[in-house]
Chain A
Amino acid sequence: QVQLVESGGGVVQPGRSLRLSCAASGFPFSNFGMHWVRQAPGKGPEWVAAISFDGTNKYYVDSVKGRFTISRDSSKNTLYLQMNSLRVEETAVYYCAKATRTGIETDYWGQGTLVTVSS
């Protein structure tokens, strides 16, 4: 069955960096696009970034452009999110999600990893 397991969250000071990972299993990882979505405490989800099945196309929400980088390693079946210059307001649970064959919708989500940005 499809499994997505995020890791790498923790407490980080404003302005510092963090790299999240998402280990995927149960499906041919290199055939599907992937997304990162975050959810601040008590708020709704916010789409953060997406990457095509082959890694050639990457998309970001405006607020993270130039600071966050989505990437993937198909040899390791792993999705990454490099987050630089983190802000307090980016405290959230970060979820990775598998895209459907169209690459537009998502079907499976992980359980998330908590990132706390605080001094």
Chain B
Amino acid sequence: QTVVTQEPSLTVSPGGTVTLTCASTTGAVTSGHYPNWVQQKPGQAPRPLIYATNNKHSWTPARFSGSLLGDKAALTLSGVQPEDEADYYCQLYFGGSQLSWVFGGGTKLTVL
């Protein structure tokens, strides 16, 4: 069974920079996994921020960026704002004969 892992929690100061990562038990995360990142605030539905590794939706603030970092997918927030405090989930696509999508366990980002 494929497991996607993320840091359980991270803390960053306002105005700072933080990088969240996303790894897979199947091996290196590549662009072929089309890494997605979604943000979820308490009581709200998840909201996609980044798709296909590093593409932003029209509503995604410029301070969010996606990349591949070594064997992992990464989400970097530069110039963190208080409203960025949220849970962040990565999602990976696994192709082949039986397509599937797997979410990571999430990173709780605290802005302090």
Minimum CB–CB distance from B58 to chain A (whole Å) comes to 9
Known: A110-B45, A111-B45, A112-B45. A100 touches B51 (CB 8 A): yes
Chain B residues numbered 23-76 whose CB sits less than 8 Å from any CB in chain A: 34, 36, 38, 40, 45-48, 51-52, 57
Q: How many residues of A contact B (CB 8 A)?
A: 22
0/1 string, A94-112, CB within 8 A of B gives 1: 0100001010111101111
A104 and B93 contact, CB distance less than 8 A: yes
Please tell me the size bucket of the interface on B: 20 to 34
Residues of A close to B99: CB separation below 8 A: 50, 59
Minimum CB–CB distance from A15 to chain B (whole Å) comes to 25
Number of A-B contacts (CB under 8 A): 56
Chain A residues numbered 28-76 whose CB sits less than 8 Å from any CB in chain B: 35, 37, 39, 44-47, 50, 59, 61-62
User: Which of the listed residues A104, A107, A111 has the most CB atoms from chain B within 10 Å of its own CB?
Assistant: A104
How far is A112 from B51 in the complex, measured between Cα atoms in Å? 21
The 10 closest A-B pairs by CB, nearest first: A105-B51, A47-B101, A44-B106, A59-B99, A45-B103, A109-B45, A104-B34, A104-B93, A111-B45, A105-B36
